[in-house]
Amino acid sequence: MISFENVSKKYDDGTYAVNTFNLHIKEGELLVLIGPSGSGKTTTLKMINRLIPLTEGYIKIKDKMISDYDIHELRWDIGYVLQQIALFPHMTIEENIAVVPEMKKWEQKEIDHRIDELLHMVGLEPKTYRKRLPSELSGGQQQRIGVARALAANPPIILMDEPFSALDPLSREKLQDDLIELQKNIRKTIVFVTHDMSEALKLGDRICLMRNGGIVQTGTPEELLQQPVNDFVREFVGVDHAEERMVDVRGLVKSANPEEMDNLPIVPSRVPLNEILSLLGEHEQLAVQDMDEIVGTIDRQGIIRTLSRQMEGMK
C-alpha cells in the first residue's frame, strides 16, 4: 500500500531527519511509528502526504510515486488527525466534517448522510452535535470529530500524529479503545505516530521503532516484546526481566463452550510474561485454568492491551 524505498530527508545544514528509510506498510494495517524525540517519526509521517518533501529515495502509494499524484487529490485521499485537533473554530461540527466532501463536489444529500454516519461511528448523536461549535465540546469529543473529519471522504489512508497525547488519561484510553473497534470495521491503512510504548503495543498491528532517523526494529507487538534486537529496543519496549514478570489474566477470561477449548494450550491464571507471549505467538487463543478448573479463554489482543496498561501504570 505505502512503500518507502531508500527515503532520506536532509536539511540545509547537512543533518538527516530521516536516513535511508525502507519500509512497506500493508493495506488495512495499523502501523505505529515510535521512537524518542528527534528520531524522525513525525517527519516520516509528513513525507507521505508531502507536507515535508523528501530529499532522496521514493515513496509510493499503490505502486505510484507520490510525486506523480496531484497534490490536492493526494491530500484529499489521505485523512490526517493531529495532536492539536485543529478544527475550524467558527464552523459547526457538520461544517467541519463536510470540508473535504464539499471540495470533492459531493452532492449535499450524500454529505448529510455521511455526517450522520460518521457521528454515529465515533459515538456522538448527530441531532445533538451537528450544529454545535468545537468550543462547546470537550477535548475528547473534539478529537472524535477530528477522526470523523479525517474519515469523511472515505480515504484509504489515515495519518495520525500523536492524536491522543494531549488528552487526559481516561479520554485517551477511551479513544484508543474506540480506534481499535473502529479499525475492525473500516480496515483503513493507518500510520500512527506516538512516543508512548504502551499506546503502540495496544494499537499497532506492527510497530516500527526508530532512532536517529533510521529503523531499529519493525515487528508485531509480540515480536518486539519477545525478540528485541538489541539493548535499546529491550529498554524502550520495557521487556527487561520478562521471564520474572507475572501477568494475571483472570480479568481477560472470556466464557467458552468446552468444545471450543479442545486442543487449546492451557495456562494458569497467573503466568510468566515470556511464557504467555511465546504461546500467543503460535496460537490465537489459550485456555485458562484457575483453581484446577478451566474457566475460559484469552486472546492475543487482550494480553497486549493488559500489558500496555501495566506499562502505563509503571510510568
Find the mean pLDDT for residues 113-135: 95
Placement of cell 483453581 in the chain: 291
What's the pLDDT tens digit per position in 73-116? 999 999 999 888 789 999 999 999 999 999 999 999 999 999 99
- Domain covering 246-313: architecture: Roll (3.10)
pLDDT, the chain, mean: 90
Beta strands in the chain (DSSP E): 2-10, 16-25, 30-34, 56-61, 64-65, 78-82, 157-161, 189-194, 206-211, 214-219, 246-248, 266-268, 270-272, 285-290, 293-299
Confidence of residue 315 (pLDDT cuts 50, 70, 90): low
Tell me the domain boundaries of the chain.
2-237, 246-313
| Residue-level pLDDT at 239 | 62
Q: Who has greater pLDDT, 4 or 241?
A: 4
pLDDT at 183: 93
Closest CA to 76 of 114, 103, 98, 107: 103
Longest dimension (CA), the chain: 66
Q: What predicted TM-score, i.e. pTM, was given to this entire model?
A: 0.82
Does the pLDDT at position 310 exceed 70?
Answer: no
**Domain made up of 2-237: CATH architecture:** 3-Layer(aba) Sandwich (3.40)
- pLDDT tens digits for range 172-183: 888 998 999 999
Q: Mean per-residue pLDDT for 212-227?
A: 92
